């Protein structure tokens, strides 16, 4: 009742007494359906709503929706009403209803899930909210925006939509050395301008990265000074950018809406200064704004130097401080909307509690980063639709390693060649198949993301490889065109009185790819060693290479399998199944690839025989076994190192007889001797710099199969 | 057609980017076979025309394609009323009369075709015409030049190692912005500042190489855009016609390019 009394006069003043009466009735109804606290929340929300909705009709529509929702989801109404301001910032009443109903539907009658949704504890809520706002969301424009920002300065930037942080959607762009994070949507922007705003935001962030220096140390600057230094820095990089690309000014200027006059609050003055610095025709008249502009323009010869931003910014900050205008760093949002949150400009060092703003900023940054680390981020680089679709469905959580996975199943015995006695020892080795330990599939997503440039390059190559080169067959008995050389030869024969060859035609045909490949990775203990200079282990690079080659093969539609091997004596040659021929290359494969670990030794011959036996079962014209290894064959129960080399050589020869091509990629720079001995000199590619493996392997594959 | 038809009468415009003219002259002096590398439309063909003119040699150009056979290069017997007559191919013509033979985009030809140039490119300098039973000694002025655009095809279409190692190479890149602007202005007839804008636009599209485009806009495309502008077309329309639409069919890339062009003007 008290709440009503507090709310109704303002409402009556704004929209007239009928609205106030309607509110009273609605409150009574809601108190009955959803309880007293919800009704009180409605009274508080009514004040926010009246500010946002600005007309009695729309306010009435809003009340109707609230009453309707009170019947559908009484337990969540309070949570919903508390977020009125934020919801109405993005949604009109129709979209609000649609958003709420979709949440209720998604919860499937479970009040607890409804509550999660309306409290924004369910990330879906934020995402749907962003979509429903009428402005075009980032995800729809993502690809063209990324291409745009790359075009501007040729930077290789990772742009992604920022996730919901602590239940709040970020309102400004944010960047650091690695990422530009863009809000999924800029609320309240008309549909037609969304693209321009996103472009403006990205161009601005890219300008920072292109023209900016190293981060400013935060030192003893006050929050207001930080805001001003950032603002000057914004103007500085924009001026440099406009110098190079004058059209950017047309892009940025319309978003500066600050007008001269009005209240002398810090945000208003900051926005006016921002405009004054960009727009020479803007007349402000306020002494401080004009002073800022003069100082900035006076330094135009030194714009290339980031130090001027700090100098001008701190001076202006002092002036503004003396004017005693209020500035609240916690609620301050940079204007205009395309500018970034300035986080990327500052080096906060270790002094987390230095200033209020730094603290808030750091906190939010931490949350963001924590999110990034957790679970696969929902906004990834765009991939092919199939993978994207599989990602939409709840990703398989990491399974606890089951006991079954660690126990290999004996599947086959193989003979081993003993060069000393010159014959094979029958049934000497045993292959144990492992179902593949699983890891975090996001690791593979990250590989594809990090290697985006290489992935696109491979995809381009694949497009041309897929349609195999046409081959002209000459001297055919029938065909599309006459074969000139054959015709002349036939005419000569005819004049000589001989019977001419009837093959006078030539045809153009395309041969189709018909091959099966098996990629066999060596995961012995030595692959756990760090590669000097690459900052990664051999296995990590093998995994990257396997990911890229598998990506290429999957795109080509080739029939392929992925396997890994390691051995622990002749009775236990481990053979890890990562991907079967029939399996699609999807997230299950990702998680198995991610789960690979370096262990044990390298009994290559047996692994080759087993892989060959698998390939032998494939019906295709060509069969290719591609093995990646980092060292000489060895095992714990063999002292004579020549023994396993000779055995592997024998295995390769056997496979050759079966018509299986074996090719080896050697990662050991000293491996010339034995690798050439095993595989033959022409079937070995030595990679001297292992860090190039991820690039080389797919290229090699394309070359071998072209 | 006689060899004189291959002479270049008027000086083709060429703006040197570095010391490539001196290098080429030195290579020609020792008759070293040369390879011109670089992306499409960066001036390789114009350079060789200019050099042929400077050196006063006829220039025989062969555009290679994958259906090309060795007889298309060296020649073949044709028939007339009385019997067969031998017709020299373009390569044989150049070898006999001392022209510069320029094999454009040689990777497009199949590898087994290109081996016919091997005896010409080492110290033998001969061209055996196996069908005719003749060995043609190369004229002292004969030189062989090929163009080779590594690009995206390089894994699938590449020269044999034994072919590659017979050539010296000059690498062509898109010229520096002010040089390129000068070229665009000269060739298209637009003012220098318009040409500079076009070059700025061209650089944006080259930034997209590997990010949606296989190759950025070449100098040639910029000249085309400039010619449209010289005809009175607006810069936006001209760039759309000459730079954006030909280069990609991808709606997202087009949109991004349009926006990037808007940022340049």
Confidence of residue A159 (pLDDT cuts 50, 70, 90): confident
User: What's the gap between Cα A530 and its chain centre?
Assistant: 26
Q: For residue A677, tell me if it sits in a domain.
A: yes
Residue A365's domain spans which residues?
135-379
pLDDT digits (tens, 9 = 90+) for A644-693: 888 888 888 888 888 888 888 887 666 667 888 888 877 888 777 767 77
pLDDT digits (tens, 9 = 90+) for A271-316: 899 999 998 888 888 888 889 999 999 888 888 888 888 889 888 8
Is there a contact between B212 and A147 if contact means CB atoms under 8 Å apart?
yes
Q: What is the DSSP string of A353-391?
A: TS-HHHHHHHHHHHHHHHHHHSS--SS-----HHHHHHH
Q: What proportion of chain B, given as a percentage, has pLDDT over 90?
A: 68
What is the reported pLDDT for A49? 80
What average pLDDT does range A613-642 have in this prediction? 83
Examine the domain organization and report whether A500 and A565 are in the same domain. no
Q: What proportion of chain A, given as a percentage, has pLDDT over 90?
A: 5
Examine the domain organization and report whether A501 and A587 are in the same domain. no
What is the reported pLDDT for B167? 94
What is the reported pLDDT for A457? 74
Q: For residue A436, tell me if it sits in a domain.
A: no
Confidence of residue A143 (pLDDT cuts 50, 70, 90): confident
Examine the domain organization and report whether A493 and A520 are in the same domain. no
CATH 3.30.1380.10 given to domain B3-171: no
The Cα A249–Cα B263 span in angstroms is: 8
What is the reported pLDDT for A287? 87
Residue B145 has pLDDT above 90, yes or no: yes
What is the reported pLDDT for B33? 95
Is there a contact between A457 and B152 if contact means CB atoms under 8 Å apart?
yes
Residues of A in contact with B207 (CB under 8 A): 150-154
Residues of B in contact with A460 (CB under 8 A): 152, 214
Q: For residue A384, tell me if it sits in a domain.
A: no
Instruction: Give the range among A266-280, A335-349, A457-471, B129-143 with minimum mean pLDDT.
Output: A457-471
Residue B78: beta bridge partners?
Answer: B85
Residue A611 has pLDDT above 60, yes or no: yes
Examine the domain organization and report whether A109 and A147 are in the same domain. no
User: What CATH number is given to the structural domain containing A458?
Assistant: 3.40.50.410
Q: What proportion of chain A, given as a percentage, has pLDDT over 70?
A: 83
Note whether A5 and A43 are within 8 A (CB).
Answer: no
Residues of A in contact with B265 (CB under 8 A): 246-247
Which residue of A148, A248, A464 is in closest CB contact with B156? A464
Between these two residues, B166 and A510, which has the higher pLDDT value? B166
The Cα A575–Cα A564 span in angstroms is: 6
Q: Which of A90, A105, A132 is the last residue of a domain?
A: A132
Residue whose tokens read 């390129």: B180
Examine the domain organization and report whether A149 and A288 are in the same domain. yes
Confidence of residue A437 (pLDDT cuts 50, 70, 90): confident
- Does the predicted model carry a pTM greater than 0.95? no
Distance from CA of B40 to the nearest CA of A (A): 17
Chain A interface with B: residues with Cβ < 8 Å: 143-148, 150-154, 199, 203, 244-248, 250-251, 453, 456-457, 460-461, 464-465, 469-470, 472, 484-485, 488, 491-492, 495, 508, 699, 702-703, 706
Q: How many CB atoms lie within 10 A of CB B166?
A: 18
Q: For residue A329, tell me if it sits in a domain.
A: yes
Residue B220 has pLDDT above 60, yes or no: yes
Q: For residue A397, tell me if it sits in a domain.
A: no
What is the reported pLDDT for A13? 78
Instruction: Give the range among A445-459, A503-517, B39-53 with minimum mean pLDDT.
Output: A445-459
Examine the domain organization and report whether A85 and A103 are in the same domain. yes
Residue A395 has pLDDT above 60, yes or no: no
Q: For residue A431, tell me if it sits in a domain.
A: no
Is there a contact between B263 and A485 if contact means CB atoms under 8 Å apart?
no
What is the reported pLDDT for A386? 40
Residue A16 has pLDDT above 70, yes or no: yes
**In the structure encoding, which two tokens stand for residue A473, read together?**
């067959």
Confidence of residue A1 (pLDDT cuts 50, 70, 90): low
Q: How many CB atoms lie within 10 A of CB A259?
A: 12
Confidence of residue A233 (pLDDT cuts 50, 70, 90): very high
Confidence of residue A393 (pLDDT cuts 50, 70, 90): very low
CA distances from A138 to A125, A161, A167, A251 (A): 16, 7, 19, 18
Examine the domain organization and report whether A356 and A452 are in the same domain. no
Q: Which of A132, A153, A180 is the last residue of a domain?
A: A132
The Cα A378–Cα A374 span in angstroms is: 11
Examine the domain organization and report whether A102 and A174 are in the same domain. no
**In the structure encoding, which two tokens stand for residue A611, read together?**
């892989």
Substitution target from A151, A202, A475, A685 for chain B, most B beta carbons within 10 A: A151
> ∠ CA B158-B164-B169 to the nearest 5 degrees?
110
pLDDT digits (tens, 9 = 90+) for B238-258: 999 999 999 988 888 899 999
Q: For residue A187, tell me if it sits in a domain.
A: yes
Examine the domain organization and report whether A608 and A646 are in the same domain. yes
Examine the domain organization and report whether A327 and A187 are in the same domain. yes
Examine the domain organization and report whether A261 and A170 are in the same domain. yes
Residue A357 has pLDDT above 60, yes or no: no
Is there a contact between A246 and B264 if contact means CB atoms under 8 Å apart?
yes
Note whether B75 and B87 are within 8 A (CB).
Answer: yes
What is the reported pLDDT for A464? 64
| Cα end-to-end distance, chain A, whole Å | 80
Confidence of residue A377 (pLDDT cuts 50, 70, 90): very low
Instruction: Give the range among A1-10, A428-437, A466-475 with minimum mean pLDDT.
Output: A466-475
Residue A370 has pLDDT above 70, yes or no: no
Residue B202 has pLDDT above 90, yes or no: yes
Note whether A394 and A380 are within 8 A (CB).
Answer: no
What is the reported pLDDT for A508? 82
**In the structure encoding, which two tokens stand for residue A81, read together?**
């009403």
What is the reported pLDDT for B230? 95
Is there a contact between A143 and B214 if contact means CB atoms under 8 Å apart?
no
Substitution target from A146, A147, A484 for chain B, most B beta carbons within 10 A: A147
What is the reported pLDDT for B190? 94
ipTM of the predicted assembly exceeds 0.85: no
What is the reported pLDDT for A373? 42
Contacts of A105 (CB under 8 A, 6+ apart): none
Examine the domain organization and report whether A544 and A621 are in the same domain. yes
Task: With residue A578 as reference, give the H or E element that holds it.
Answer: strand A573-579
Contacts of A40 (CB under 8 A, 6+ apart): A3
The total number of structural domains that make up chain A: 4
Is there a contact between A152 and B153 if contact means CB atoms under 8 Å apart?
no
pLDDT digits (tens, 9 = 90+) for A307-330: 888 889 888 888 888 887 878 887
Note whether A694 and A677 are within 8 A (CB).
Answer: no
Task: With residue A519 as reference, give the H or E element that holds it.
Answer: strand A515-522
Q: What proportion of chain B, given as a percentage, has pLDDT over 70?
A: 97
Q: For residue A576, tell me if it sits in a domain.
A: yes
Substitution target from B155, B159, B251 for chain A, most A beta carbons within 10 A: B155
Residues of B in contact with A701 (CB under 8 A): none
What is the reported pLDDT for A388? 39
What average pLDDT does range A534-558 have in this prediction? 80
Q: Which of A379, A396, A415 is the last residue of a domain?
A: A379
Chain A residue with the nearest C-alpha to that of B86: A488
What is the reported pLDDT for A618? 81
């Amino acid at each position: 009742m008290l709440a009503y009394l507090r709310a109704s006069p303002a409402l009556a003043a704004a929209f007239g007494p009928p609205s106030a009466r309607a509110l009273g009735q609605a409150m009574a109804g809601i108190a009955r359906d959803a309880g007293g606290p919800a009704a009180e929340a409605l009274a508080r929300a009514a004040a926010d709503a009246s500010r946002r909705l600005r007309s009695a009709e729309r306010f009435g529509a809003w009340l109707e929706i609230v009453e309707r929702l009170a019947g559908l989801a009484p337990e969540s109404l309070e949570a919903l009403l508390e977020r009125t301001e934020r919801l109405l910032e993005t949604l009109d009443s129709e979209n609000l209803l649609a958003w709420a109903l979709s949440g209720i539907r998604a919860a499937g009658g479970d009040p607890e899930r409804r509550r999660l949704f309306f409290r924004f504890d369910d990330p879906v809520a934020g995402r749907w909210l962003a979509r429903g706002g009428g402005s075009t969301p980032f995800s729809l424009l993502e690809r063209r925006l990324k291409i745009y920002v790359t075009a501007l300065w040729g930077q290789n930037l990772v742009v992604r939509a920022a996730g919901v942080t602590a239940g709040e959607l970020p309102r400004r762009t944010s960047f650091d050395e690695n990422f530009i994070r863009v809000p999924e949507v800029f609320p309240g922007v008309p549909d037609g301008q969304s693209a321009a705003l996103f472009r403006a935001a990205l161009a601005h962030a890219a300008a920072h990265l292109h023209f900016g220096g190293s981060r400013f140390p935060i030192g003893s600057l006050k929050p207001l000074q930080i805001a001003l230094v950032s603002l000057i820095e914004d103007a500085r990089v924009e001026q440099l950018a406009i110098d190079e690309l004058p059209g950017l000014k047309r892009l940025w200027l319309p978003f500066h809406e600050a007008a001269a006059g009005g209240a002398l609050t810090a945000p208003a003055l900051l926005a006016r200064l921002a405009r004054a610095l960009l727009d020479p025709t803007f007349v402000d008249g306020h002494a401080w704004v004009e002073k800022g502009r003069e100082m900035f323009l006076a330094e135009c010869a030194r714009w290339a130097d980031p130090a001027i931003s700090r100098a001008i910014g701190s001076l202006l900050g002092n002036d503004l401080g003396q004017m005693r205008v209020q500035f609240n760093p916690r609620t301050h949002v940079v204007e205009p909307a395309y500018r970034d949150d300035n986080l990327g400009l500052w080096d906060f060092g270790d002094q987390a509690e230095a200033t209020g703003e730094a603290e808030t900023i750091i906190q939010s940054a931490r949350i963001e980063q924590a999110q990034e680390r957790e679970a696969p981020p929902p906004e990834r680089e765009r991939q092919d639709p199939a993978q994207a679709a599989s990602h939409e469905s709840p990703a398989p959580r990491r399974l606890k390693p089951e006991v079954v996975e660690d126990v290999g199943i004996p599947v086959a015995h193989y003979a081993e060649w003993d060069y000393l006695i010159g014959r094979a020892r029958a049934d000497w080795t045993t292959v144990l198949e492992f179902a593949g330990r699983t890891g975090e599939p996001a690791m593979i997503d990250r590989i594809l993301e990090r290697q985006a440039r290489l992935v696109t390059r491979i995809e381009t190559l694949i497009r041309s490889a897929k349609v195999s080169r046409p081959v002209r067959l000459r001297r055919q008995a029938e065909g599309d065109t006459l074969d000139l050389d054959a015709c002349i030869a036939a005419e000569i024969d005819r004049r000589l009185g001989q019977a001419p060859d009837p093959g006078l035609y030539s045809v153009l045909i395309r041969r189709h790819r018909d091959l099966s490949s098996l990629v066999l990775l060596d995961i012995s203990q030595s692959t756990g060693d760090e590669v000097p200079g690459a900052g990664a282990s051999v296995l990590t690079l093998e995994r990257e290479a396997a990911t890229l080659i598998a990506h290429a093969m999957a795109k080509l539609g080739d029939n392929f399998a992925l396997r890994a091997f390691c051995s622990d004596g002749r009775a236990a040659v481990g053979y890890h199944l990562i991907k079967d021929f029939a399996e699609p290359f999807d997230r299950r494969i990702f998680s198995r690839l991610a789960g690979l670990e370096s262990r044990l030794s390298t009994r290559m011959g047996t692994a080759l025989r087993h892989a060959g036996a698998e390939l032998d079962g494939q019906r295709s014209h060509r069969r290719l076994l591609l093995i990646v290894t980092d060292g000489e064959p060895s095992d714990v129960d063999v002292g004579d190192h020549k023994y396993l080399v000779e055995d592997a050589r024998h295995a390769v020869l056997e496979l050759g007889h079966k018509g299986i091509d074996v090719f080896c990629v050697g990662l050991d720079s000293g491996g010339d001797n034995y690798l050439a001995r095993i595989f033959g000199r022409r079937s070995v590619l030595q990679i001297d710099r292992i860090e190039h493996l991820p690039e080389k392997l797919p290229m090699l594959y394309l070359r071998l199969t072209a | 057609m006689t060899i004189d038809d291959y002479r270049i009468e008027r000086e083709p415009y060429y703006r040197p980017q570095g010391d490539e003219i001196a290098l080429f002259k030195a290579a020609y002096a020792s008759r070293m076979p040369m390879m011109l590398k670089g992306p499409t439309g960066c001036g390789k063909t114009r350079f060789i025309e200019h050099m042929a003119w400077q050196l006063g040699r006829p220039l025989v150009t062969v555009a290679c394609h994958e259906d090309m056979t060795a007889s298309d290069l060296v020649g073949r017997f044709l028939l007339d009323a009385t019997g067969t007559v031998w017709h020299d191919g373009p390569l044989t013509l150049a070898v006999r009369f001392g022209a510069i033979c320029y094999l454009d985009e040689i990777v497009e030809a199949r590898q087994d075709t290109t081996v016919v140039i091997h005896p010409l490119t080492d110290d033998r300098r001969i061209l055996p015409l196996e069908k005719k039973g003749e060995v043609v000694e190369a004229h002292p002025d004969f030189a062989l030049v090929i163009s080779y655009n590594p690009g995206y095809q390089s894994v699938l279409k590449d020269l044999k190692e034994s072919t590659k190692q017979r050539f010296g190479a000059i690498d062509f890149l898109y010229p520096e912005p002010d040089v390129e602007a000068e070229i665009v202005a000269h060739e298209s007839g637009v003012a220098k500042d318009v040409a500079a804008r076009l070059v700025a636009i061209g650089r944006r599209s080259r930034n997209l190489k590997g990010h949606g485009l296989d190759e950025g806009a070449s100098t040639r495309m910029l000249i085309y855009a400039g010619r449209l502008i010289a005809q009175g077309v607006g810069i936006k329309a001209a760039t759309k016609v000459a730079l954006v639409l030909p280069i990609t069919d991808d709606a997202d890339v087009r949109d991004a390019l349009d926006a990037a062009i808007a940022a340049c003007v």
